[in-house]
Structure 1
């Protein structure tokens, strides 16, 4: 950019703004300018720089602080960075937008081009810029929803579709997009409702799929009411297979059922498979009470697999959202008690006070008898005290709930060896060796157990 004092009078020299775009200084829309090309004398044209969307700068950044191939990541380039000759710079659409005065319809067209090319973050920024100029155009909101969906930000996409329909209640494309979103989010009734308002856009196969989803959801509700956890697991799986692949509520129901059946490892895996929405978005979409229930399930799963601090934090958020939720308050109290017991037990174990540590873990188990981490820790204490049979019992309990809990399996293998149950010890060591073939402790234990078994048979 060339400042005014660097130019001679009447000079209109083009200035390089990027490796592939040149523009006149006045067309950059410098906010400090008043009048002229940058001052906004023409009310029918707009400078995109003045309307860069806040979300592209502030809200919901990607982990590295900006979107991949993002608008802001290309507008604000380090001056020393060089572009290879003939290569196309990412973010070119917005650079082109910045190089001239664009009306919002042109921004939408450019956004559509980026969307078709798979540049969803750039498309989103262009749609946002168009909305900043003309916030009452339903198509801009609907297209923004499509870009958000492509980026996996489904709840935000729902809010944009709702806004599009507030502006134009008869917008078929927005109804169809919203119906597809509700299908993925597991709301059968709303899916059917919006499909019916989609006009010629809808396919009868889609409506049939939505009705099938609703049947499974009704069965989920009934199974949970009856506390029929096995049926609940079956029906939640069927609902997800019916198209509700991002239905956080359905994943939470399945995880809750698995927790009730003490299948803690599976419950944790289910929540990891589910969507990872922002907490504030969940509160906006599900409501405070609904999100409190989701957080309560999260807290129970975290506690079951030993993430005590995370469990306590989730339970506290749940009670803040719904202070009258008795179950959430119970989960929070349990999380505090279990976390305190684990902390006390760990300190005593480090001080070689194994008997006292065992009792501390036992106190935690009074609050949560099926907690695999406390059982495994108590097994370590009992092993140190020579109580190998009891240690094996604790390890069995931990492994029943978390079959992949390698620490509990290693302790059981060691206890079996001390009890001279070589075959059982070898079986555990072999499972561990398959999981971690380079683990020296496991390899050494396996060789020793095999040697002892051979010696025992020879004798």
Structure 2
């Protein structure tokens, strides 16, 4: 691509920059901290990679830093005069300004010209980290160290990455090889986090779920804020307390990486454990196909994992029960549908989707009190489950419990203020409640 650009632009030395419309907004990076706070950037002094980056500061506008012309959709890295050191300087400038995607493009351009320069790999790692691509950042740091085994900055960055990913042994190892880049505080922090992690593992062994939740939160707050295994342990403990929604929120905060990348970094056994927890959470939230896929993936990685085996059997049984029940419900066979959902609940008694579906069957069969009970059970697991709340509001209405029905509709309206069905239901319930009170008077 670079060669073709150079051939087609003979004599043009103008540097241009691509549109950065695809840059990830920092606010979407979740728990990632700003580089000036010291994460991944080598004590917030990334600019020390090269101190002569000031000579470009006064030339941004005339170098066409943000040209809007349709003829300049190519990163300014692509020019007829490709000096990798200059590209690195420009990348450092962008990095300091928070333009991480553009910095990454410049570092990659420098690497394309000189792939054996450790500093370029280390700088690329810093940009990847700022964009939330932590596992790729680990690979670049490793490559920098392969090129230059005593490169202190790369060791320190890799120590920071492993700390946040929850691998304290590797974190400590690289801190100890970081020379003046690291200090006793770094090693001490990693050792403290290792204590938290050990407590998490022990609490899980003892099935002390309250302690596990507390220690996992302490580890995350202490710095291991991108550690999939710690998030999985916390989510598992929440699931044991039937706090399915909270478990789902925890897993959303966790680093979302593909199975192969996760296996490469954490190994097959740990990855299988993470996938198993994800399978349980997906099943509880009604994502049955995803649950089955993750459980099968866990079994492929660790065929001896009993939890994964159980999750796979449960996912298959629950998914089959729901599909069977839905088929009966669509053709009006409500008793058969109810029996099918109950078969699924034998495997997963607290599954909110199956409880809500059984409530629909019971409502159709006139078993309104039982339907309300099922809706309540589903809402205990998932307080924000709008379908269960709407169904309960309807059951209250059919029983003439208009005050309770109004309360349900008002809660639904707070969640979905534009929902016309909810508005109509609330209006009707209020009218009937008023009429009911007038009749009593």
TM range (shorter): 0.7 to 0.9
Give the conservation status (yes or no) of the 8 Å contact 1:93–1:110. Answer: no
Deviation at 1:21, TM superposition (A): 5.1
How far apart are the structure 2 equivalents of 1:238 and 1:148?
Answer: 26
Q: Write out aligned runs for 1:2-13 (5 A).
A: none
1:314-325 to 2 correspondences below 5 Å: 314-325=294-305
Q: Which of 213, 221, 245 pairs up with 2:225?
A: 245
State the 1:197 CA deviation: 2.6
Structure 2 equivalent of residue 37 of structure 1: none
Q: Distance in 2 between matches of 1:267 and 1:281?
A: 23
Structure 2 distance, partners of 1:414, 1:14, is 69
Structure with the bigger RCO (C-alpha within 8 Å, sep 6+) is 2
Is the CA contact (8 Å cut-off) linking 2:15 and 2:76 kept in structure 1?
no
Shift of the alpha carbon at 1:153? 0.8
Counterpart for residue 286 of structure 2: 306
Asked whether the 8 Å contact 1:256–1:297 carries over to 2, the reply is: yes
Map of 2:76 onto structure 1: 93
Does residue 141 of structure 1 match 2:121?
yes
Equivalent of 1:283, from 260, 263, 275?
A: 263
Deviation string 1:304-341 (CA, Å, 9 cap, x unpaired) is 01011111111111112222222212211111111111
Distance 1:433 1:117, change over 3 A: closer
1:143 is displaced (CA, Å) by 1.7
What does residue range 170-189 of structure 1 map to in structure 2 within 5 Å? Answer: 170-189=150-169
The residue correspondences of 1:3-402 to structure 2 (distance < 5 A) are 15=10, 20=14, 84=68, 89=72, 91-96=74-79, 99-102=80-83, 104-402=84-382
Taking a change above 3 Å as real, the CA distance of residues 199 and 422 of structure 1, as seen in their structure-2 partners, is same
CA contact (8 A) 1:216 1:235 kept: yes
5+ long unaligned stretches in structure 1: 1-11, 23-61, 69-82
Distance 2:362 2:8 in 1: 83
Deviation at 1:118, TM superposition (A): 3.5
- Per-residue deviation at 1:140? 2.5
Instruction: Call closer, same or farther: CA 1:21–1:165 in 2, change over 3 Å.
Output: closer
Tell me, in whole angstroms, the C-alpha distance in 1 between the residues paired with 2:192 and 2:308: 32
User: What SS is found at the alignment partner of 1:303?
Assistant: helix
Aligned length: 389
Please list the CA deviations of residues 170-200 of structure 1 after superposition, one character each: whole Å capped at 9, or x if unmatched: 2211111011111221223332332233222
User: Which structure has the greater CA radius of gyration?
Assistant: 1
Deviations 1:212-261 (A, max 9, x none): 32222122111111111111111111111112221111111111111111
8 Å CA contact 2:77–2:109 kept in 1: the answer is no
The Cα of 1:295 is off from its aligned counterpart by 1.0
Preserved contact between residue 91 and residue 122 of structure 1 (Cα < 8 Å): no
**Structure 1 Cα separation of the partners of residues 208 and 272 of structure 2:** 23
Separation of aligned partners in 1, 2:265 and 2:136: 9
1:417 matched to 2:397 = yes
Q: CA deviation at 1:90?
A: 6.2
Aligned to 2:422: 442
| Cα distance between partner residues in 1 of 2:118 and 2:280 | 42
Aligned twin of 2:28: none
Unaligned runs of 5+ in 2: 1-6, 25-66
